[in-house]
Amino acid sequence: MHKRIFLKGRSVTAAAALAAIVALSIGPLGCSKDEKKAETTQQQAPASDMAAKEHFDRGVQHTMKGETEEAIKEFEATLRIDPKSPEAHNNLGFAYYDKGDVDKAVEHQKMALEGNPDLANGYFGLAMALEKKGDKEGAIINWKQFMKLAQPHSKWWLQAQAHIENLEGKASAKAAAPPQHKK
């Protein structure tokens, strides 16, 4: 069972919440450092780009509602129009993770990172999926990469740090250490 949290009064998995939060914060299909250029580009976007955006947005809405199957269909529709969209692959990876298909989650997170090696959320999703598969080394590498790109000491950064400590055995080593007695 995946850890459930509440987002806007709805119970969703932590993976779905992270995907939705990041998707909503970066915009429909990525973030642009030059907002004016992005506005102009969006105004001139061909119909196919607008259709991809609509599918992506619907996928995010389904994710926020915990409707994993519907989200998968929408993100797949986005990828039929824009096969290299890192954000669509990333969100599809989270949806497959929530569905329990860890292999597809890994596949889509890797595709997201191929398209955008600076996509922090891609490393987060890949680390979660690799950890679930039992690939501790791969998970640790991706948690650390996420931490390099994430806001230090944010909720998600701290969560990554806790995963690393757990995977490296630091948490269990602290718990197993005998108490120190003063003489």
Nearest to 138, CA basis, from 119, 114, 164, 162: 164
Nearest to 19, CA basis, from 149, 114, 119: 119
Q: Looking at per-residue confidence, does 1 or 145 come out higher? A: 145
Distance CA 179, CA 72 (A): 50
- pLDDT for 24: 44
- pLDDT for 48: 85
Nearest to 140, CA basis, from 111, 113, 162, 121: 162
The encoded tokens of residue 48 equal 């196919």
- Domain extents in the chain: 4-29+46-170
Helix (H, G, I), strand (E, B) or coil at 4: strand
- pLDDT for 112: 98
- pLDDT for 54: 97
Instruction: Tell me if 125 sits within 8 A of 96, measured CB to CB.
Output: no
Does position 179 have pLDDT exceeding 80, yes or no?
Answer: no
pTM of the full structure? 0.73
Per-residue model confidence as pLDDT tens digits over 77-114? 999 999 999 999 999 999 999 999 999 999 999 999 99
- pLDDT for 55: 97
**12, β-bridge pairs:** 5
Per-residue model confidence as pLDDT tens digits over 11-40? 456 566 565 555 544 444 443 334 444 454
Please compute Rg for the chain using Cα positions: 18
Per-residue model confidence as pLDDT tens digits over 33-77? 344 444 544 555 688 899 999 999 999 999 999 999 999 999 999
Instruction: Tell me if 32 sits within 8 A of 38, measured CB to CB.
Output: yes
What average pLDDT does the segment 116-127 reach?
98
Distances (CA, A) of 33 to 19, 26, 39, 91: 20, 10, 11, 21
Give domain 4-29+46-170's CATH number out of 2.60.40.420, 1.25.40.10, 1.10.1450.10, 1.10.3720.10: 1.25.40.10
